[in-house]
Structure 1
Amino acid sequence: MELDSSALRHAVQSLASHALPAFGVALVVLIAAVCGLWWLGLRYGVHRETSRFAPLAYLLAYLALGFALIIGAAALFAEIAENLGDGRKLGQLDLLFSDTIRATISVDALRFFVLLTHLGDPILLTALCLAGALVLLWQRQRGLCIGWVGAIAGNAVLNPLLKNIFERARPLHEHGLAFADGWSFPSGHASSSVVAYGMLAYLLVRLLPARWSAMRQPVVAAAAAVAFATGSSRVFLQVHFASDVLAGFASGAAWLAVCIGALELARYRKRTA
């Protein structure tokens, strides 16, 4: 289907008219998918004494999956960026989606998303980064501390670079509940939330005591939900277009996969040294 087809425009407008229930459904589907993938990982992806393959094979499989995620996320980002240049295509769909949300969403719903969007504010994530670094240093987890700070700081450098490359203006809004300056593409709140909360979940999964192992799946699901909700709030508040947020998710997921892959590779080398 062409991006400028009338059928697609109608579908986008219909989705935006029902954005709140669609957001709720997407959130539930995301949590269910994360829980399902976690179950599959525990069943088939964990090395045991009875496993047919060596630990190295499992590491290589996970690195391959991570590499596939990086390639897929990069391809999604590139596809979005390529279509932004033609105002008759993705840009018009973004504008239609944003205008329809502006005309249909209530002020009370906007106030709810104002609270959600603060979960991705730079000052909050900076404080989280510093607090996490102090805890990791106190626990003598120097390697994890470097990976944690590097992941968040690296994304904080990468996102502005991408914004300056594309120089996309933000959508207009009149509700006065949220403000943002600078360029729009890709969304910094979306990418930084994926990286920060994804890394936090990774650290908790690695460091939680064995007696709290049942908490690992909820931690990962909660991190995915928070990142998705934070990024989505930017669309509802009309400080970003939908494609900005989708591209932010893609760039954040790619960088997160790189950071976790590097930490897992270092972990394996330490075990076998």
Structure 2
Amino acid sequence: MWRTDTDRPTFSGGTTVPAAAYLAVIAVLSGLLFVTRGGSPSPVVGMAWGALLVVLAIGAFGIEGGSARSVLPAARTLVPVTTVLLAFWGAYNLVAYGLALSGVPGFEATWPSAAGHPLAYLAALVSSILFTAIPEELFFRAYLQQKIVALAGSETRRTVAAAVVVVAVLFALFHLPRWLASGHGVGTALAVRLFGLALMGLAYGLVYAMTGNLWLVALFHATMNQPPFLVTVSLPSELHLVVGLVEYTAIVSVVALSGAVTERDWPAISWVQRDGTS
């Protein structure tokens, strides 16, 4: 239903194009942060940055003889994708409400501030989808992750898992310039931050590997950036990593469970040979 049924993209080049594309992303991001002096970029700059990531991904596909169009899921998958997303956030809010009623610190059975400004929240969510989630997932998961699988020379679960890990690390390091530009130093806090981002990258990479659906992973990405909470959640910073681990595990579990219920030949890794190799 929401797992793509297209062939994986083909690549004709070696490591030069992905390495150059990734370094270009880091260089341009660092330049933008230098210009904005580490502050929050204006909406125009944010839109331009998202557009640049899309252009780089499309260009990388084109240079290597492929097409970014090949990784775009059919529009009909948006219905099951939205269903899975709503199931996740519905369960999340039920758990959060139960924790609030139980008096667990960090959870309150009151409407969050975003509930009072629904249009502002929707605007932020749409902006996150269009200019952050889709561009980043197109570049990191649809291009880099699939490219690394292709470089491995064999499409087995082992090589896909390795690609997921490598890209998760690259995804975490991609956020390093922003951390440094914000005036944070190098220390334990940075290590925790990078580890949390790597966990995030692992979750998104696994979702993409299981489904090959760019819309699904992008919508998870965007809603984690702009969570649709129906209760007030304000966790202390020391719990962010633990809660993040639970959240990302839950995302992968919900997708895997949904696939087991709705898809044939499950469990499976999208675009991986299904002839028993591993």
Query: Would the TM-score normalized by the shorter structure come out above 0.5?
Result: no
Q: Which has the larger radius of gyration?
A: 1
* Greater helix proportion: 1
TM-score, with structure 1 as normaliser = 0.28
- TM-score (structure 2 length as normaliser): 0.28
